[in-house]
Structure 1
Amino acid sequence: MIIINYLLICLIFGTTFLAIKVGVDASAPPFFSAGIRFFLAGLLLFLWMVWRKKASFKLLLHKEMLLTGIGLTFGTFATLYWAEQYVSSGIAAVLSATAPMMILVLQMLVWRQRANANAIVGCLLGFVGIILLVLPQLTVTADIMWLLGCCAIILGQIFYGGGALYAKKVIQQFPQASPIALNAVQMIYGGLLLLALALCTEHIDVRGMLTPRAIGSLLYLIIIGSMVGHSLFYWLVAKTNPIFPATWLYISPTIALTCGVLFYGERITWVSAVGVIIIIAGTIYANSDNLKLHSPGWRVLLSKIRNP
């Protein structure tokens, strides 16, 4: 079940970069779009959990939910949505792939934990693969806004890494609460903060968001990207560790590239193909211990990779 859910979030999150880009290109205000997405997704999920008697409204009163929302939703997606005005979805996916490394660095510097050698090597290998994957597509002129957009996404990944680590502690602190309910509440808070930021910084024209592209992007991101994808991510954090679920970011550039080929006529070069192979190998190696623990079927595959 862990492997299946992991593959699902790879597929779901891999397409959200393009969905965000479609919405931004349709003139939807980035902060307002992100706020609506996460607030509605979180609210619907939370009310559903309350209706099923698996969550209580008291969960909204804990400051831990707010802090998690700042990390996993507000800080991560405020920067990403803003940056995709100037950065392509493929580049955004590449830069977002620094999140597992941010988690490793934060674990070593803040929590004073020793990182597993396999995780470090696998993360570095996966990042090399990502560079190879998108290298042929790096044709964007590096103007000041493009550079600022890239820096903003990297900053967002620091929020993401801290949020993922803190979310693990929150899950342990509230063992009786469903991970889905915890995820819903943090999205509510993150969405509200994004809406507050939008009201302070953006001119919001609701009519401009009523185009088919903007509506389609928003609905996809609310239902599939947030309600389904982020709930699966939170569940995986609870069942494994913060690094394992975050390595979906090594798969997302491959999916983003595929979407580009299918919908924008982009070409895949042999360099990109090599990048895909390296990404998959790095992801498996980084998570070898977790994969062997949770899925006996992976043991044979991992043994063949390590001992060809």
Structure 2
Amino acid sequence: MKQQFESVRSGFLLLLAAFIWGIAFVAQSVGMDYMGPCTFNASRFLIGGVVLLPVIWTKERMEEKKGATGAPAKKKKFGALLPGGVCCGIALCAASLLQQFGIRYTSVGKAGFLTTLYIVIVPLLGIFVRRIPGVKVWCSVVVALIGMYLLCISGSVRIGLGDGLVIGCAFVFSIHILVVDHFAEQVDGVKLSCLQFLTSGVICLVLAFLTEHPSWNALFAGIVPVLYAGVLSSGVGYTLQVVGQKKVEPTAASLLLSMESVFSVLAGWVILGQKLSARELLGCALVFTAVICVQLPDKKKTKQVETA
């Protein structure tokens, strides 16, 4: 019962992350009206990392009072934390930059669809690390893909420069999901999230000074989308992903996170007054159905537990 509760709780955390990211598409698009992709990403990730520092400090003080944290445990965790944070940060940096540049040359709807192609790429990559998903997951992937197509794509589909960049983004995000899955059980989730932001932010900052012209005026002019992307999308959203993935296998996690495409369209409907067509509503329903199905417990596993 406790394990099932933790699984449901983790699934909810991943859905909440998808909700935050769905709205963040608006912030990412608006933010580039004031600054370049590298500057925007450097700002959001550095802010996301700094926001988590007091959270980490408070958490450690609370654990020390309870006597839950000892010196040996800290040392052991730190050994995996540093390489984990750097690896996650590099993957996050590459994926986010590809997405930011891709949004420049393609529509937001198509970018949302292509980004969530990681729901197909993750199980395919999982085969190479001997994590083969079951039939239920594959069926859910197919249903979700059909739903996202109905939701985001209208008319002919042509692969342009922006589309290619976002497809590359989906591939790197798939790697990021698998890397997070590898390190999430070994280290503290909040610390891993903080370190990956600082790593990604520093890399983006160097690229910004090399390829763009960052300025304080541009940053203050676009401070609202930067703060949303930094505090909520980065600081909160990616931390929810790291914590949530501890009890959810990668393919199921990718399906839950793919709900960001649904939430982005719904946000446009509610906040911006953009109406949804019958086709788009059907797409939302299919993606939501796929996400629910992938979370249903497997009958065979349930019987084994009852027998034991």
TM range (shorter): 0.7 to 0.9
Matched, 1:160 2:176: no
8 A contact 1:12–1:229 mirrored in 2? yes
In structure 2, the residue matched to 1:88 is 107
C-alpha spacing 1:293/1:167, structure 2 compared with 1 (3 Å): farther
Deviations 1:48-70 (A, max 9, x none): 31353267895798233211111
Counterpart pick for 1:132 among 127, 150, 168:
150
Equivalent position SS for 1:210: helix
Matches of 1:290 and 1:225 in 2, distance apart?
A: 32
Deviations 1:86-125 (A, max 9, x none): 22322221111111211111111x2133221111111111
In structure 2, give the amino acid aligned to 1:201. T
Q: How many residues are paired up?
A: 281
8 A contact 1:31–1:194 mirrored in 2? yes
8 A contact 2:114–2:163 mirrored in 1? yes
Matched, 1:224 2:243: no
C-alpha spacing 1:291/1:132, structure 2 compared with 1 (3 Å): farther
Matches of 1:207 and 1:233 in 2, distance apart?
A: 32
C-alpha spacing 1:183/1:5, structure 2 compared with 1 (3 Å): same
> Which residues of 2 match residues 229-308 of structure 1 at below 5 A?
229-289=237-297
In structure 2, the residue matched to 1:306 is none
In structure 1, give the amino acid aligned to 2:25. F
Matches of 2:166 and 2:39 in 1, distance apart?
A: 18
Counterpart pick for 1:36 among 23, 32, 43:
43
Equivalent position SS for 2:105: coil
C-alpha spacing 1:220/1:188, structure 2 compared with 1 (3 Å): same
Deviation of the 1:292 alpha carbon: 11
Counterpart pick for 1:185 among 183, 195, 209:
195
Counterpart pick for 1:101 among 115, 120, 132:
120
8 A contact 2:47–2:230 mirrored in 1? yes
In structure 2, give the amino acid aligned to 1:11. F
In structure 2, give the amino acid aligned to 1:8. L
8 A contact 1:79–1:153 mirrored in 2? yes
Matches of 2:30 and 2:223 in 1, distance apart?
A: 10
In structure 2, give the amino acid aligned to 1:122. S
Matches of 2:80 and 2:108 in 1, distance apart?
A: 33
8 A contact 1:39–1:187 mirrored in 2? yes
In structure 2, the residue matched to 1:67 is 87
C-alpha spacing 1:62/1:249, structure 2 compared with 1 (3 Å): closer
Q: TM-score, normalization: structure 1?
A: 0.81
8 A contact 2:150–2:283 mirrored in 1? yes
Tell which deviates more after alignment, 263-272 or 14-23: 263-272
Give identity over the alignment, percent. 20
Equivalent position SS for 2:245: helix
Matched, 1:48 2:88: no
In structure 2, give the amino acid aligned to 1:78. L
Give unmatched runs, 5+ long, in structure 1: 295-308
Deviations 1:128-161 (A, max 9, x none): 101111234x699x6xxx8111111111121111
In structure 2, the residue matched to 1:302 is none
Counterpart pick for 2:17 among 1, 9, 18:
9
Deviation of the 1:242 alpha carbon: 2.0
In structure 1, give the amino acid aligned to 2:23. T
8 A contact 1:99–1:249 mirrored in 2? no
8 A contact 1:27–1:208 mirrored in 2? yes
8 A contact 1:80–1:156 mirrored in 2? yes
In structure 2, give the amino acid aligned to 1:121. C
Give unmatched runs, 5+ long, in structure 2: 1-8, 64-73, 303-308
8 A contact 2:102–2:162 mirrored in 1? yes
Deviation of the 1:284 alpha carbon: 1.9
Q: TM-score, normalization: structure 2?
A: 0.81
In structure 2, the residue matched to 1:301 is none
Equivalent position SS for 1:239: coil
8 A contact 2:120–2:141 mirrored in 1? yes
Matched, 1:119 2:137: yes
8 A contact 1:43–1:185 mirrored in 2? no
